[in-house]
Amino acid sequence: MSLYHPVQIGSLKLEGNLFLAPVAGYSDRAFRSVCVDGGANFCYTEMVSAEALTRGSGKTEDIMNRADNEKAYAVQLFGGTEEVMAHAARLVLEKTSAECIDINCGCPVPKIIKSGAGSTLTKEPEKLYKIVKAVTDNTGRIPVTVKIRSGWDASHITWKEAAHAALEAGASAITIHARTRAQGYEGKADWNILKELVNLVGGKVPVFGSGDVFTPEDAKKMLEETGCDGVMFARGAMGKPFIFRQTRQLLETGSYTEISTSERIQSGFKELDILIKDKGEDLACREMRKRFCAYSKGLEGGAELRAKIIHALTRKDYEAVFCCINP
């Protein structure tokens, strides 16, 4: 089988296996939209609080909005009790047209862990089972997937138990970020664990890899070395939503086309325009500071650009920043 290939997640069939991971504060519909333009086969929303959703938070519901060009997408939920997660899953079905629900069992952020969610669930597979089962029992028409970590810390590597629990509870796919909760996003992801997970699951459901995928070459290496069914880009897609198209080119032809400066900047402005529509110009322009800084990396005079970007307040300010950039 080609390294680039279709993927079946329960009843959901996807054209390819290059995905945008759920990234807190980043994977809104504006960013997902430019990633779809850039070749992403499937995107996940940033984490949605099950607790906030069940309390009727309008801001939480906004996180779940579908991008206009998404053929399919997943809503990622986090929560610490099966009752709340089951209720939230029903609300996702009611309020969105999402084709999949993903359960976050890996976030290492302290406030998420304190709620009994995120990496706590990788550490407590019995609790993970109850939550995943509660969600699958309430989402019969769409598949439920699970994202885990390798464990709590180096002394508590629990991915095997977590994976078994997820499978027994009816998960249709498993993603692993092969770092422990203690590592956070530091150190190196252990792709050997991803390979072991692929062997453990044995083709029962797809297994996707996450962690340390920053270039098309990284994605190719992950697929070759681990045998995983698909790759999730997270930080690697920031400022580079076209990385999906480049990776597909590499997997299919052995090389890929570099992106022009003008195309890169145009992508940033499309993202900005969607954010302005969703959040208003002031908030959108402030949000885009970090995103345009990411787009500017690698450009000639990037440091000078970033010094101007961080002061931009309006769309016209950004136009002035990039007006003299060579294509």
The residues annotated with a catalytic role in the active site are: 107
| Nearest to 231, CA basis, from 12, 14, 10 | 14
Tokens at 38, concatenated: 């850039």
Which residues have CB under 8 Å from 227's CB, separation 6+?
195, 198, 199
Which residue bears the tokens 């299919």?
252
CB-based burial label for 243 (10 Å; 0-12, 13-18, 19+): buried
Q: How far, in Å, are 272, 273, 285 from residue 269 at the CA level?
A: 5, 6, 10
Distance CA 145, CA 160 (A): 16
Which residues have CB under 8 Å from 90's CB, separation 6+?
138, 139
* Interior/surface letters 20-45, b for 16+ CB within 10 angstroms, e for the rest: bbbbeebbbbbbbbbbbbbbbbbbbb
- The H-assigned helical ranges of 138-239 are 159-168, 191-201, 216-226
